[in-house]
Homo-oligomer: A and B are copies of this chain.
Amino acid sequence: MREVAIIGIGQTPVDEHWDKSLRELAGEAVLAAMSDAGRDRAEGLFVGNMLSGVTSKQENLGALIADWVGLLGVEAVKVEAACGSGAAAVRAAIIAVSSNEMDCAIAVGIEKMTEGIMVETTSALASAADADFEADQGLSFVAINALVMRRYLHVYKWKHTDFANFSINAHANAIHNPFARLHEPITVDEYNKARMIAAPINLLDASPIGDGAAAIVIVPTEHLRVLSQPIITIAGSASATDTLAVHSRKDPLWLSAAEKSAKKAYSQAQVKPEDIDIFELHDAFSIMSALSLEACGFVDRGQGPRLAIENEISPVGRIPITTLGGLKARGHPVGATGVYQIVEVAVQLRGKAGETQVPDAHIGMAQNIGGSGATIITHILKSKQ
């Protein structure tokens, strides 16, 4: 298999885009990525999306978006892994190019969530969990994560406020990101007093839904000559799964699929956790930040909140996370999120992250999660000057 690189990135702001249809929103990101790459053709389009069948009564997004962006006729499909759909589409595009199946592929993540009424969206999001054994018991997706957080607080003896800096850091980093949904800083006091959603998860533990699209253009590295900016190569790409229902796991506080996919990606990229300069993790809820950092080897089991408390997660910390806002403040348009994460790592590796640029960033990791830890996809990117 040949090495591949990201030569173009594009994204729309995460927002309520009531004035744009599904294809218009996706098209905006794809065309931006193609323009950034200086290409007007591609041989394949892989669409990451979770909810369009429910929220827009539209499936078959591959053909829909390919036609819209001027790629009529190319191979195009949708890839779905709940909130992990974005990275799943990226991975499909990577395999298609690295296998010689095609020489240029585009991955786009797209989700439009704000047009439905809230109860529909909450119900639709529950389809990421086990419909027969979780959702049917009345558990919404946030409720499942609340059970996990409650158990974590009990087992490892942390207080809820110990998670505050995960959200504070994300909000602080989003302020200067024009593509982020939220641009307001928050304080510990605000975090502690935020409205309860599903105890112990409050409003400032939870990422906001939104409409958005992000896209990347992938080609073989061997086709690239010297460019004006660093080449961003895919050094690692791996996917693993766990039980869909959290109660079926031996340890509901351990993301075994995160550990498995991260270890495989580390091995492919020949790096260790301490080599990672940025980690765009899947902070759908603050508890997930702690669990992800632990499973990927950045901190001992049960010690995730320590990194937040000691502020090792800021852009100048030991392991910078959510450097452009993360799911918490950039926003979480579910099927698009995994592509946003990879776009943001690429922005950092290009040195274009502005106020929240991580100094000397050469190796970045993005990890996208579908369901409460059921499908976890890890990518490691490296910059080559």
Contacts and interface: CB of A to CB of B under 8 A. Distances in A.
Interface of A: 1, 21-23, 50-54, 56-64, 66-67, 72-82, 84, 88, 92, 95-96, 98-101, 123-124, 126-132, 135, 238-244, 248, 256-257, 260, 370-371, 374-375
B135 A57 contact: yes
A57 B126 contact: yes
Contacts of A84: 60
Contact of A242 (B50, B58, B63, B374): B63
A132 B60 CA distance: 13
A1 B256 CA distance: 31
Contacts of A22: 131
Contacts of A88: 77
Contacts of A50: 53, 59
A57 B82 CA distance: 12
B375 A63 contact: yes
A1 B58 CA distance: 34
B240 A371 contact: no
Nearest to A129: B60
Contacts of A63: 81, 241-244, 370-371, 374-375
Given A51-B53, A67-B243, A124-B53, A73 B371 contact: no
A67 B245 CA distance: 10
Contacts of A257: 73
A127 B58 contact: yes
A267 to B, nearest CB: 14
A81 B72 contact: no
Contact of A79 (B79, B126, B240, B260): B79
A99 B4 CA distance: 13
Given A60-B84, A77-B81, 15 more contacts: A1-B101, A51-B59, A56-B131, A58-B131, A59-B80, A60-B244, A63-B244, A63-B371, A73-B256, A76-B81, A76-B239, A77-B80, A77-B88, A78-B81, A98-B99
A110 B204 CA distance: 39
A57 B260 contact: no
Contact of A123 (B57, B130, B370): B57
B375 A76 contact: yes
Contact of A96 (B64, B82, B95, B135): B95
A127 B60 contact: yes
Given A1-B101, A123-B57, A78 B80 contact: yes
A75 B239 contact: yes
B51 A241 contact: no
Contacts of A101: 1, 95, 98-99
B59 A241 contact: no
A56 to B, nearest CB: 6
A109 B19 CA distance: 36
Contacts of A92: 77, 79, 92
Nearest to A136: B57
B371 A60 contact: yes
A61 B84 CA distance: 12
A242 B370 CA distance: 30
Contacts of A132: 21, 23, 58
Nearest to A52: B127
